[in-house]
Chains A and B, each alone.
Chain A
Amino acid sequence: MKWWRYVVAMELRKLLAYRSDFWITFLGQTLIQLLVARALWQMIFATQSVSVMQGFTLEMMTLYYLIVPIGMKILTGENIGFLAREIYDGTFTRYLLYPLSVFQYKTITYLTYSFFYTTQLLILYSIFRIFISEAPYTMTDMGNLLAGMALFMMAAMAYGMMALMIEMVSLWADNIWSLMVMLRFFTSFFGGGFVPLTFLPQWAQDALVWTPFPYLVSLPARTIMGLTTFEEVARGSVIIGVWILVFMEIVKLIWKRGQYKYTGVGI
């Protein structure tokens, strides 16, 4: 398994090949989403003349929308969609010839991006807490940050498996890009990317508890902000862990059925 180090190094080089692109994407996307979300919530807080809504102050809301876009980057990475394209154009064949597991290779490339964006989260969050936030940056906050980062990595694993399940549909279908976009919509809305889940009606929050979605964005983000209890984090970790195992089994099953559909020359 020593090859994984070379894969990680190669993927990082690829990620940073177009540096201007990289920084425009990272800073631009994060800041724009943050500014638009803050403007919206500032208006809502002002209209309601309140300082706290569903447990969130405006500053907490700002922090939440700083974490969420980076969280979504951690989940969606850069490499998702490539497997489907490789199946489509026939270049998937090379993985069948390489002396390594295609799924191990794909998981490592995907997690490389996720880990990279997690470190960006660490940097941006620390800048926010040290230079912008009025509350002091304590050891407890750093502990919460590390726990949240670990949860984001677990979430990335779960999302990566869901994405892999969808990508393998391309063994039967010609284009699955729209299915991937649907997954992103669902994750964003039911995961708390659009609005913190505490703003949803109680029945909707209860319905989501056993699905993987609240643990993909909302739980890690709220953990970083110190808004979760130990029990909540532990329960969330178990649920998402079980989902990862379920998704892995489904991926294996789809591969077992679908591998013989692959023609090697593309569709």
Chain B
Amino acid sequence: MKRYLRLYLHFLRFSFSKAMEFRLDFTFRILMDIIYYVVNILFFKVLYLHTPLLAGWTEAQMMIFIASYILVDALSMTVFSSNMWWLPFHINKGELDYHLIRPVSPLFFLSLKDFSANSFMNLLIAVGIFIYSLATYQLEYSVGDVFLLIGLIINGTLIYYCCQMLMILPVFWTQSSKGFMDLFYSMGLAMERPDRIFKGWLRVVFTVFLPFSLIASFPARLFIEKFDWPTFLHLMGVSLGLWVVMLFIWRKGLRAYSSASS
């Protein structure tokens, strides 16, 4: 564990020095994420011009949800996104060989080696939005509620990572992951909507099989509404199941990997 922590600190140091070499890009990326946050907040503001409640939530309650998924996005962009972008190329070009022979878990290395320093600045802004949404929230909540929400947001980031991996891993067999990745980004839209809007089979898909609704909507629901065990257990059960499925497919994929020009 200590060895992995030390390795991750090396990743961080290297990523920051790399990011500072491309200063203009560094600035552009910060601006890009700020625009993403503003556009998302404006979208819901426009909707609330036409309805007082959305999925049973007021605008202030919705702000907690928006801040939650913005935080998940910022965490994911900072920690995983660059690695996820390059993973299919590593598999396709046979570059996985170098990672398989290293004395560390290849999944750890490939998922975490590239820390996005520029997105880290946006993570700070996302934290600011999160604090603002809590400060302007008028209903009562305890410190424990806030800690629970933060814990569930971190869990949501891991769900997001697992879903993304599940869309990338078919590249072991299909040679191109573009279609699935495009699909993943489209499905990301489900993360940005309250889960209550989904009914019937669509609800089953987004709360069990591809649980985008569990990333931010369930955590926000557990914070805004009364804590209930069935929702919490559902969230934990599906998160665990998703992690197991992802690891299973990763191992299957490694067995199918045929090195160079896979």
Chain A residues close to B by CB (< 8 Å): 18, 20-25, 28-29, 32-33, 35-36, 39-40, 42-44, 47-48, 53-54, 69, 173-176, 178-179, 181-182, 185-186, 188-189, 194-195, 199-201
| Interface of chain A: mostly helix, strand, loop or mixed | helix
Contacts of B29 in A (CB 8 A): 178
Chain B positions 28-55 with a Cβ under 8 Å from a chain A Cβ? 28-29, 31-32, 35-36, 39, 42-43, 46-47, 49-51, 53-55
Chain B positions 157-214 with a Cβ under 8 Å from a chain A Cβ? 174-176, 178-180, 182-183, 186-187, 189-190, 193, 196-199, 202
Residue contact A43 to B47, C-beta cutoff 8 Å: no
Residue contact B46 to A182, C-beta cutoff 8 Å: no
Roughly how many angstroms separate A69 CA and B189 CA in the complex, as a whole number? 12
The interface size of chain B toward A, counting residues with CB under 8 Å, comes to: 38
Roughly how many angstroms separate A195 CA and B183 CA in the complex, as a whole number? 21
Partner of B54, one of A20, A47, A53: A47
Residue contact B182 to A42, C-beta cutoff 8 Å: no
A21 in contact with B28 given A44-B47, A185-B35, A195-B46 (CB within 8 Å): no
Is B248 among interface residues, defined by CB-CB distance under 8 A? Answer: no
B183 → chain A closest CB, angstroms:
4
Residue contact A199 to B50, C-beta cutoff 8 Å: yes
A215 → chain B closest CB, angstroms:
19
| Interface of chain B: mostly helix, strand, loop or mixed | helix
Residue contact B31 to A178, C-beta cutoff 8 Å: yes
A18-B176, A179-B32 known; 12 other A-B pairs, CB under 8 Å? A28-B182, A36-B189, A47-B53, A53-B50, A54-B50, A174-B25, A178-B31, A182-B28, A189-B42, A194-B39, A199-B49, A201-B49
Is B24 among interface residues, defined by CB-CB distance under 8 A? Answer: yes
